[in-house]
Amino acid sequence: MSQPRPPQPVKLVMSFIFGQEEALRQVLLATSTQYGMIDFLSEPFPFDFTHYYEPEMGASLRRRVASFEPLISPEELPRIKLRTNQIEDEHRNTKLGRAVNIDPGYVAASKMILATGKDYSHRLYLGEGIYGDFTLIFRDGQYAALPWTYPDYASEPLRRLFDLLRKRYLWQLKNDRGRQTADRSLL
């Protein structure tokens, strides 16, 4: 019989889709104020896998991925998703659409999970109207896509980036035991 125990802390990550650098800068400031120091920020990747966001955000969109220094409990993900939705609303563009799309999630040793408000067969309900999208699985020494993984997250560059963030996370688990979770007053 398995015995319940607290989950291991995980590494908070966020993906930002944006068109204007200044809008991204403002959203990065808001998220780091809320969730702690950003300890990694990727270079921009072209976001050209879909045109879904163009009517709202314009063309020539890019994506950057950030991770945050304080580790979190996985059960915090629904509240984080709800708060990042508010941050998106607070930073509207001149069309009154989102200037930046924020996809929060987390990296764990065996998986990468994204938060979403949309249910589907491979998503587990986490609470507060939020689902966890099982996006990548760690096997054979690297993150691998699943049949339902969004094409951009399944791409080699993003999977390699999440492999790097996993290494950072594992190092942090080993070396930062005294500082594993964010100050709850920030959340």
pLDDT of residue 184: 40
Query: Is 2 within the bounds of a domain?
Result: no
CATH number, domain containing residue 163:
3.30.70.260
**What total number of domains does the chain contain?**
1
pLDDT of residue 93: 84
The answer on pLDDT for 6 being more than 70 is: yes
Query: Is 103 within the bounds of a domain?
Result: yes
Q: Tell if the pTM clears 0.75, that is, is over it.
A: yes
> Distance between CA atoms of 38 and 36, rounded to whole angstroms?
6
Query: Is 187 within the bounds of a domain?
Result: no
Q: Domain range holding 77? A: 10-176
Residue range 36-84, pLDDT digits in tens: 999 999 999 999 989 999 999 999 999 999 999 999 999 999 999 999 9
Query: Is 39 within the bounds of a domain?
Result: yes
Confidence of residue 95 (pLDDT cuts 50, 70, 90): confident
The answer on pLDDT for 86 being more than 80 is: yes
Query: Is 184 within the bounds of a domain?
Result: no
The answer on pLDDT for 111 being more than 80 is: yes
Query: Is 170 within the bounds of a domain?
Result: yes
Residue range 113-166, pLDDT digits in tens: 999 999 999 999 999 999 999 999 999 999 999 999 999 999 999 999 999 999
Lowest-pLDDT range of 5-19, 91-105, 132-146, 160-174: 91-105
Query: Is 186 within the bounds of a domain?
Result: no
Query: Is 3 within the bounds of a domain?
Result: no
